[in-house]
């Protein structure tokens, strides 16, 4: 018999997908179009209106690392070391 996952392991997971029933999705999409927003932006606007400004969709850790890596494009290696020196020294503390 499989052991149930601990609640701690479940608490560390972040949901990245919200599934809407098709009729609700259609209503939200229609309203988003009326307001000149994308579907995702409209869902965020609805959640922010209900829960406050601290509602946001965070990118996945892989996406954040890809953006950080991309930000070094075109920067010479010597300058990269200077830019990331503080990050490395802060991590060692």
Q: What is the pTM of this model?
A: 0.47
Q: Which of 29-43, 51-65, 68-82 has the highest mean pLDDT?
A: 29-43
Instruction: Report pLDDT for 7.
Output: 54
Whether 15 has a pLDDT exceeding 70, the answer reads: no
Q: List, in order, residues 6 or more apart from 22 with CB less than 8 Å away.
A: none
Through-space distance between the first and last CA atoms of the chain, rounded to whole angstroms: 44
- pLDDT category at 25 given cuts 50, 70, 90 is very high
Answer whether 50's CB lies under 8 Å from 61's CB. no
Which of 20, 12, 64 has its CA nearest to residue 42? 20
* Residue owning tokens 């098709």: 22
Instruction: Report pLDDT for 19.
Output: 87
């Amino acid at each position: 018999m499989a052991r149930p996952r601990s609640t701690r392991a479940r608490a560390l997971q972040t949901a990245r997908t919200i599934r809407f029933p098709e009729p609700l999705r259609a209503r939200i999409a229609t309203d988003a179009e009326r307001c000149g927003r994308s579907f995702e932006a409209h869902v965020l606007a609805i959640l922010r209106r209900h829960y406050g400004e601290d509602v946001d969709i965070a990118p996945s850790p892989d996406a954040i690392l890809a953006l950080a890596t991309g930000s070094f494009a075109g920067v010479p290696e010597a300058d990269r070391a200077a830019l990331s020196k503080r990050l490395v020294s802060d991590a060692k503390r």
